[in-house]
Amino acid sequence: MPPKKRGPPTALSPAGGQAATTHEADSKQLAAETSDSQAATANKNDKANASSKVAGKAPNQQPSALARGAPLLVLLVALLAAFASRKWPPDGLAARLTGRANSSSSSSSTAAAPASAATGDTLGITCNSSGNGSDSQPEKAWVEADARGFFPKGCKWREVHRKGEEPGFWDVRRYQYWDDVRSNWTHRQPDSCIIKGLANPGPSGWRWRNGSPRSAAHCYDKYCIYDNLWFNNGRFYLLVDGDTGVEPWKLTRNQELNIMHVSNASAFLASTNHHVVRGDTLVFDFVFFMHPTAIGHWSEMLFPLFSILRKEKSFARPPTQFLQLHLKRCHVMEWVRAALATALGVGPSQDLPPVMWQQEVAHITDQMSAPLEGYAPGAWVAFDRVMVVKDIYTGGVRTFLDTKDAHLFRKMLYAQHNLPPPRLRQPLPRTITFQRKRANRRVVNEAELLSMLAEFGEVRVVEFNASTPFRHQLETMASTSVLVSVHTSNLANAQFMQPGSAVFELIQRNWFWHGLDRSFQVQTAMMGDIHHYAWRARQRNETEYIAERDAYRFGEWEPLQCNTEECVEAHTNVDVRVNIPAFRALLADRLPLVFAGWPVEAAAIPWPVQEGAEEEYEGEEF
């Protein structure tokens, strides 16, 4: 059967071409700003010096006295020029006082950062950098993101933007990179951030896997391994030759696997500009790329990945490199890098493997089809060997493949952050942690809920966001015994609790599509030593829609009607009113068993399924 026909690879959009030089342009702009500022100050110094020379020729002045006072006069002129140009310290002042060479304002301000930047705790630091060198224009400070946790070796970055000019979610970002040699932050991207493959490898310099550039696929239950997988402008291709056609299939939920069928693969490459990336590459397509801060979806992919890399002994662990599709560097926050390091088998004193990215462009549709960083538009890139783990929409699972892997992941995570190994605590501390949400899925009657929780133990309230240090989140999970939370992505931390702990989840109304209500329960269940219970909002008055339009459209829908992505999205943007008597009854029934140290199986009760939706749960692979 002939393969499905597809058009030729699309050319890079103009936005993609601009993105390739973003960092270079930023560096030039920063240098221009510094030069303009220095020029303005130098101009003022020249005028001031000229005035002093005229004054030296005035009558009733003694040249010898002026000569003795010249150093003080130079210092005074420098100070006046500095105040006039809003610069401190003034250009050349340090050199005059200490004898050191003059340095630019950008270098001075950047060099002030290492004391805190070396540890990654850089939140709130601003750099002085004049916008255009004009005295009439106020300076705009740089706002800098955190740079904590794991990074690839030699490629530590942080996002920066001008104060008051925060970029949109898919806008091209500015980054600074840590310079290990100079111990400061710079806009210049290090060479170690770009993975350069072999350019047009010939027979003398390269041997193709299987002796040919043609592709091969080896697919198993939960993952596939590809030999000579080709990439061009955001698309993956199997290079096939010969008379037999091959049908395309889904590489991931968001990525088609296209077929490039030629008469002879070697002859095709002889006339094609191409590169080869050697070693084992893990290709990672975050399923819900429109919600990269939703760490719960990251756990759904990283936990199975951990098990599969342990199972597939022939694939490097950690891999030679990691290819992150569609997202930008700023989207892969500290929590993700910490979980990724553990999933890839990175030790406490090790770095992440090199990470490959697509060039950043300003629109999501262009981002998906952008070429790889460091490669020309239209270049063909062959990956020597690739692993792709199936996501939940292509036959994958949401959690570890067995309990042993789940326990090992938690233990490794604790070790990476210098915490004592997880253990069963007896007696279990009566510490109850309520996880608060700020934007949506808030508990409307929170004060009443907290008052009721205090009947069962000591209550503390936490609120995590994308900038919360991961170690703080991990320490919070390790020190609590009972976690109470609405259904939120931050429940991805629940499986990091210590053995014998318990989760009480508050699920919003009409939330069950494709097993979404059990996405965290299946993860704690795989741990085998964490209790997990839930209360479900069932009544219309237990849900408050934040958007009036959603209330009008979906407020009266029955659960089984809410089986579309639009309805599901609407129910992420709601607040919850907890039925306090019902939730108190659940706590009173289960907490005595939890605090008494009952095994999870002995203290378990059925999951509260949505009425009328029992058939939806049957056959669902959680």
As a whole number of angstroms, the distance between CA 523 and CA 447 comes to 30
Mean pLDDT, the chain, rounded, equals 81
pLDDT for 10? 35
DSSP run (H or E) holding 156: none
Q: Is the pLDDT of residue 602 over 70?
A: yes
**Which of these ranges, 50-59, 109-118, 166-175, 566-575, has the smallest mean pLDDT?**
109-118
Burial class (CB in 10 A: 0-12, 13-18, 19+), 464: buried
Distance between CA 165 and CA 420 in Å, rounded? Answer: 43
409-617 CATH fold: Rossmann fold (3.40.50)
Q: How far is CA 274 from CA 212, 231, 237, 442, in A?
A: 14, 10, 13, 52
Q: Residue for token digits 């690839």? A: 152
- What pLDDT is stored for residue 139 in this prediction? 61
pLDDT digits (tens, 9 = 90+) for 350-387: 999 999 999 999 988 888 889 999 999 889 999 999 99
Nearest partner of 388 among 463, 287, 281, judged by Cα: 281
Grade residue 207 by pLDDT with cuts at 50, 70 and 90.
confident
Strands, E assignment, 476-586: 482-486, 502-507, 531-536, 543-545, 574-576
**Which residue, chain included where needed, has tokens 């808030």?**
442
pLDDT score of 168 more than 60: yes
Radius of gyration in angstroms for the set of CA atoms belonging to the chain, rounded to a whole number: 30
Q: In the predicted model, is pLDDT for residue 459 greater than 70?
A: yes
Question: How crowded is the C-beta side of 579, counted as CA atoms within 13 Å?
Answer: 18
Q: Alpha-carbon distance 87 to 135, whole Å? A: 10
Residue ranges covered by each domain of the chain: 19-192, 194-389, 409-617
Of 110, 124, 112, 96, residue with least CA distance to 34: 110
Residue pLDDT, tens place only, 214-240? 999 999 999 999 999 999 999 999 999
The Cα 211–Cα 221 span in angstroms is: 27
DSSP 8-state symbol, 90: P
Task: Give the whole-angstrom CA distance, residue 481 versus residue 595.
Answer: 9
Q: What six digits make up the tokens of 595?
A: 């605090």
DSSP codes joined into one string, 326-354:
S--GGGS-HHHHHHHHHHHT--TT-PBPP
What pTM, to 2 d.p., does this model score? 0.76
* b (16+ CB within 10 A) / e for 526-537: bbebbbbbbbbb
Q: What is the pLDDT of residue 203?
A: 61
Encoding tokens for residue 173?
């970002």
Stretch 472-486: mean pLDDT: 98
Could you give the CA distance from residue 592 to residue 253 in angstroms, rounded to a whole number?
Answer: 44
**Distance (Å, whole) CA 350 – CA 589:** 46
Any idea which residue has 């993700």 for tokens? Answer: 336
Mean pLDDT of 82-101: 38
- Give CA–CA dist 371/197, Å, rounded: 14
Tokens of 617: 């749960």
Q: Which of 125-129, 248-252, 290-294, 474-478 has the highest mean pLDDT?
A: 474-478
Q: Does residue 190 have a cis bond before it (omega within 30 degrees)?
A: no
CA 62/CA 49 separation, integer angstroms: 18
Helix, strand, coil: what percent of the chain each, to 5?
35, 20, 45
DSSP H or E run through 122:
none
Where are the alpha helices (H) located in 417-469, listed in sequence order?
446-453
Per residue in 41-52, pLDDT tens?
Answer: 444 444 444 443
- Measure the CA dihedral 433/515/438/583, to 10°: -50
408-424, pLDDT tens digit by residue? Answer: 999 999 999 999 999 99
| Phi, psi (degrees; rounded to nearest 5) at 589 | -80, -35
DSSP letter assigned to residue 58? S
Put residue 234 in one of left, alpha, beta given phi > 0 → left and psi -120 to 50 → alpha: left
The answer to whether 394 and 249 have CB atoms below 8 angstroms apart is: no
Beta bridge partners of 176: 158
Q: Is the pLDDT of residue 312 over 60?
A: yes
The CA-based diameter of the chain, rounded to the nearest angstrom, is 105
Structure tokens at 421: 């190994």
Q: Which of 154-158's residues contact partners 24+ apart within 8 Å by CB, and which partners?
A: 154/180, 154/190, 154/192, 154/193, 155/190, 155/192, 155/193, 155/354, 155/355, 156/120, 157/193, 157/329, 158/122, 158/185
Pairing of strands 255-262, 249-252: antiparallel
Length of the chain: 622
